[in-house]
């Protein structure tokens, strides 16, 4: 449902007192970075940061802060980024209200986090509830063109960048890992086991139906040819029609399979 939004807005500044936090200086060319913004490393660099965005994040680093307990490094045009410890973070309710104990991942909104629903990199663990904080409502247009009302606020997060493995449902637990890996490779992104299962089932059904049609056509043609050898040309055209229909069905199944994995 959610994609990377084309609309970029500047979040209202907050005062982030990162108590007991460890921060490090990174360079940045983004003058809109404010305390509470999730950032990642810019591609091809090891010391420059930019706002983190779901599906586009290079490597999550931490959260911008203005009052860290310990600072490593200094210099002009640098952002102080909390890489470990407790600090306020901008979060949204895109994946539902953030509650204490939830893992926070990058959202489609630049620099803003959300409740992690799928496996992937997370910035840390929420120590508070979004519902208990003052929020701002933003009208956001998703990739399908639909306008959505999103609430954004700040929640204390214990920063500890790590890979989060989402809990699997009973159904997902029975899906072979290699199928999930193949589906993710074809889609070019991480795909849920349930979606992979649906995709492969649709592809399997397409192959079965096409195979049955082709087998029935060939068998019927052989029987008809044995009964009436003079109808060879007609039977040949019928077999070609069956073959084209079967190939068309296989093509449709393959397209459906790809759409299921990518959307």
**Predicted confidence (pLDDT) per residue in 208-226, tens digit:** 998 888 888 778 877 776 7
Alpha helices in 126-231 (DSSP H): 170-173, 177-187, 193-227
Note whether 177 and 159 are same-domain residues. no
Q: What's 226's domain CATH number?
A: 1.20.20
**Mean pLDDT of the 72-87 span:** 77
Q: Per the structure, how many domains does the chain have?
A: 2
Note whether 179 and 162 are same-domain residues. no
| Range of the structural domain that residue 240 is part of | 171-262
Note whether 29 and 153 are same-domain residues. yes
Domain boundary among 120, 151, 166: 166
Domain boundary among 166, 197, 232: 166
Does a structural domain hold residue 12?
no
CA distance 213 to 112: 52
pLDDT (0 to 100) of residue 62: 92
Note whether 155 and 43 are same-domain residues. yes
pLDDT (0 to 100) of residue 120: 83
Does a structural domain hold residue 39?
yes
Note whether 107 and 127 are same-domain residues. yes
Does a structural domain hold residue 6?
no
Note whether 52 and 103 are same-domain residues. yes
Min mean pLDDT across 114-123, 134-143, 151-160, 169-178 is at 169-178
CA distance 246 to 127: 56
Note whether 198 and 179 are same-domain residues. yes
**Mean pLDDT of the 16-33 span:** 76
Note whether 230 and 201 are same-domain residues. yes
Q: Residue 39 contacts by C-beta under 8 Å, 6 or more apart in sequence?
A: 26, 28, 33, 49, 50, 51, 52, 60, 61, 62, 63, 64, 79, 81, 111
Is residue 47 within 8 Å of residue 27, measured between CB atoms? yes
Note whether 46 and 151 are same-domain residues. yes
Does a structural domain hold residue 256?
yes
The answer to whether the Cα torsion of 234, 236, 238, 240 is positive or negative is negative
**Mean pLDDT of the 118-136 span:** 89
Min mean pLDDT across 126-130, 149-153, 176-180, 244-248 is at 176-180
Structure tokens at 160: 């500890």
Q: What's 120's domain CATH number?
A: 2.40.300.10
**Mean pLDDT of the 77-81 span:** 83
Note whether 214 and 144 are same-domain residues. no
Does a structural domain hold residue 221?
yes
Note whether 162 and 65 are same-domain residues. yes
Note whether 158 and 31 are same-domain residues. yes
Min mean pLDDT across 3-12, 40-49, 182-191 is at 3-12
Does a structural domain hold residue 248?
yes
Is residue 91 within 8 Å of residue 104, measured between CB atoms? yes
Reference 129, options 164, 160, 165, 91; nearest CA is 91
Cα separation values, 211 from 19, 27, 217, 242, Å: 65, 60, 10, 10
Domain boundary among 134, 166, 198: 166
């Amino acid at each position: 449902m959610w994609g990377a939004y084309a609309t970029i807005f500047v979040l209202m500044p907050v005062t982030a007192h990162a108590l007991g936090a460890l921060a490090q200086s990174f360079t940045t060319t983004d003058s809109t970075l404010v305390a509470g913004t999730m950032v990642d490393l810019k591609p091809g660099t090891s010391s420059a940061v930019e706002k983190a965005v779901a599906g586009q994040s290079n490597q999550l680093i931490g959260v911008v802060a203005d009052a860290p307990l310990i600072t490593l490094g200094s210099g002009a045009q640098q952002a102080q980024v909390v890489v470990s410890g407790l600090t306020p973070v901008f979060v949204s309710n895109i994946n539902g209200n953030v509650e204490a104990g939830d893992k926070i991942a990058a959202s489609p909104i630049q620099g803003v986090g959300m409740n992690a629903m799928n496996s992937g990199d997370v910035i840390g663990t929420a120590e508070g509830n979004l519902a208990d904080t003052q929020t701002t409502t933003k009208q956001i247009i998703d990739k399908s063109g639909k306008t959505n009302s999103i609430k954004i606020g700040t929640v204390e997060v214990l920063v500890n960048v790590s890979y989060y493995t989402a809990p699997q449902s009973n159904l997902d637990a029975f899906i072979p890992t290699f199928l999930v890996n193949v589906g993710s490779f074809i889609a070019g992104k991480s795909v849920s086991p349930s979606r992979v299962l649906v995709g492969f089932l649709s592809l399997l059904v397409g192959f079965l139906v096409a195979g049955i049609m082709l087998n029935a056509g060939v068998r019927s043609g052989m029987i008809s040819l044995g009964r009436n050898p003079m109808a060879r040309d007609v039977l040949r055209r019928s077999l070609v029609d069956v073959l084209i229909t079967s190939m068309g069905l296989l093509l449709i199944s393959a397209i459906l399979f790809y759409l299921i994995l990518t959307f």
